[in-house]
Structure 1
């Protein structure tokens, strides 16, 4: 399962390399929806998850709509910054109180308060620094997780376009409950297994295909101690990965929930080096010469589409980072 990736969040590459049209109105609707959800729920955690890299597309707006998006981003970041600064002040007071108690007598409770407050202070300072930063740092800014949004390449009315989609596919016609497991965890539909394409994904495979452009991907593997550790892979060649995806446009039959555009990355049996690192799946990285065939699957047989997978790229996926 590809649970996280460093995707292309800036638009320039899509326009330069694919001649794609950027669906700016759809991006505006995404940012507007995030703002409205925030105002209604009054909780920072309830906002639509957008990587900072997407925000950086609007540092120098050229149209009125782009300037509107820039304003929405500014308002959002201002609220986040204000909340983070308030939380920082609260945690600094918490730390001071714990240290005052420790100066009198060392207790487990005071030590624990000191540790928690110290960690939260570091976290808040990082968030504040990131909120103020305008320099693009791909490793931080372009990384997405399930339920985050990313720019995705697709074909619409015969043209290559880029629109924002949620990385966690909800197939059209299915109940929103499919997004979560019985225990409330994110379901596995952010990935689509190759061996399930003609069954569970039959309404998307051969019909609605897309590409996610990414530089690295991350996996969680068993740490041998009953937990997990994160590992990161990058093609040793340094080439951008053309990750084959399926997408769906979900519409609420009751007309209550907003439309949802979402996608899933297709995975297959693991490349040898990925299996050796402890993971059992690998994303399908197609060759550039197959982009048109993949993005225009209509009238192509399953055999023709699976042939694209058989002829995919097999760069050595180098282990970049291995958390302790």
Structure 2
């Protein structure tokens, strides 16, 4: 069963409304670890509020986000190049002698190019939309645990 939740990604509101302090140094470490392990999922809304000028710690989170974006851009551009080459090879084979394998390669390459272009556009997008604040199992996001009206921990 797949489930998700929307989060409120506003650091100033966390501090003002709940009086919590989020450990920014742990998020600095998390964002740098994501550069090495790109499968770490952090919602774009969380990334946006941690890179805002009011929150960022000496620009370290902003640097990590830029390094991650550069690495992902390179990876996606390489994927697009490889799949377009696969698509061109399939088209050449289909022009000469149509085969089932060439038709399958064309179908797969077309889908992979489209997905990679969508991911690249999403990576380059700066304005937030409603889906950017959605978390899924395995996603890193700040959580406030409250007992009664007193926040226990903000992480």
TM, length-normalised to structure 1: 0.43
1:129 Cα deviation (Å)? 0.6
Post-superposition Cα deviations, 1:86-126, rounded to whole Å, max 9, x if no partner, equal: 11111111111111111122221111111110000111101
CA contact (8 A) 1:23 1:161 kept: no
> For residues 64 and 11 of structure 1, what CA distance do their matches in structure 2 show?
11
Mapped to 2, the partners of 1:59 and 1:132 lie a distance apart of 15
The structure with the largest helix share of the pair is 2
Which structure's residues are more often strand, by fraction?
1
Unaligned runs of 5+ in 2: none
CA RMSD of aligned residues (A): 2.4
Partner residue of 2:85? 93
Larger radius of gyration: 1
Q: Give 1:58's aligned residue.
A: 50
SS at match of 1:65: coil
- 1:72 aligned to which of 56, 64, 87: 64
Between 1 and 2, higher relative CO (CA 8 Å, sep ≥ 6) is seen in: 2
The number of aligned residues is 153
1:148 to 120, 139, 142: 139
Rate the CA distance shift 1:118–1:144 in 2: closer, same or farther, 3 A. Answer: same
Q: Which runs of no fewer than 5 residues in structure 1 stay unpaired?
A: 39-43, 164-324
Q: Distance in 2 between matches of 1:142 and 1:66?
A: 25
- 1:84, 1:124 within 8 Å by CA — same for their partners in 2? yes
Q: 1:27 corresponds to which residue?
A: 27
Instruction: Report matched runs for 1:146-295 at 5 Å.
Output: 146-155=137-146, 159=151, 161-163=153-155
Question: Is 2:111 the partner of 1:119?
Answer: yes
Residue in 2 that maps onto 1:7: 7
1:286 corresponds to which residue?
none
The superposition leaves residues 165-193 of structure 1 with CA deviations (integer Å, 9 ceiling, x where unpaired) of xxxxxxxxxxxxxxxxxxxxxxxxxxxxx
